[in-house]
Structure 1
């Protein structure tokens, strides 16, 4: 419940929405539930988010942005682009596994919400591929990678590793041996980035 005199912000509404979604799931959670959790009227929530769909999209974007921000730190690091690429892919896989494993109810909720919010997901994927492109470009400029088009190579790496970050594969992420499979794929991709184009 909102403390008396506490200013209600969009961020606070999104935090409460996340809790309501965790408790009720996406099918049953309502704006009235969010307002009740904050101790305000639903009209107050609508002053920040004009529709229920806008609120759901904002909470989805917030969830996706957490991963993007984590990975952006790896992109910004100095150092060997191959190491940064491996670290970036490992961090993406670890972040998705953590979300699926630690809070399966909320992960399932966000899977539903990301299906509803195609634009937020498309923007997220575009951002992730842009991050990968920067790493691959750095590798090409330093001579570690030999690709003619870093953006195309980055897109290929992202899609090739989909099994380790696409929520459709979440059930596989706890299987024995999954880390070895991930490492083998990343090794293969790195070798491909190093190999001269035919």
Structure 2
């Protein structure tokens, strides 16, 4: 017996999509596979999501919010941290999260990388949250600037090699942490 579409929530569908992605992978997943996990017809999924693309974008947004933004927000909110040390801890957490999920949750990271190419709006929203939090960290510290948002964006871009999915193949290098510390040393010196 099929579940009632009115009882089925978007969150349940997105959770089932994550499970299905891990099982079949991005290249082989279908809306029908997700529907089977939920015990509904694929038409029921389409009542909540207009297309497979929209479904995958929703799963990516959920993944980004729970796996990246939530832990970053915890670092952002640490009141005992200040200035460059706080900013470094924030960026380093971003880097560690992205590198961890590239290794440990490869199928969902793969979809994140794919959606990064296809959905500028989702990526802009995600980056906007990060830039906003970094900007606030900068404005609370000793760094003197009239444009903390501009500085936050510059730091984000300067460290992109360490957290952008296009560079994931480089993260396997044993020297990647040392390379980040070299870049961070330059950023710290420039901002001091």
- TM-score w.r.t. the length of structure 1 is 0.86
Counterpart Cα distance in 1 of 2:146 and 2:189: 15
Q: Are 2:78 and 1:77 equivalent residues in the alignment?
A: yes
Task: Tell me whether 1:24 sits opposite 2:21 in the alignment.
Answer: no
What is the match of residue 89 of structure 1?
91
Q: 1:109 is matched with which residue?
A: 111
Cα displacement (A) at 1:74: 1.4
Note the aligned Cα RMSD (angstroms): 2.0
Question: Which deviates more, 72-81 or 162-171?
Answer: 72-81
Shift of 1:126: 1.3
CA deviation vs aligned residue, 1:37-83 (integer Å, no higher than 9, x gap): 11111122222223322212211111222211211111122132222
- Give yes or no for the alignment of 1:193 onto 2:191: yes
Per-residue deviation, 1:3: 9.2
Instruction: Give the alignment's TM-score, normalised by structure 2.
Output: 0.89
Report matched runs for 1:1-198 at 5 Å: 7-66=7-66, 67-79=68-80, 80-139=82-141, 144-194=142-192
Structure 2 gaps, min length 5: none
Q: Verify the 8 A CA contact 1:31 1:52 in the aligned structure 2.
A: yes
Unaligned runs of 5+ in 1: none
CA distance in 2, matches of 1:103, 1:56: 15
Q: How many residues align?
A: 187
Deviation at 1:132, TM superposition (A): 0.8
Q: List structure 1 segments (4+ residues) > 4 angstroms apart after TM superposition.
A: none
- Equivalent residues of 2:17, 2:34 under 8 A apart: yes
The range that moved more, 41-50 or 31-40, is 41-50
Report the alpha carbon displacement of residue 9 of structure 1 after superposing the two structures with TM: 2.1
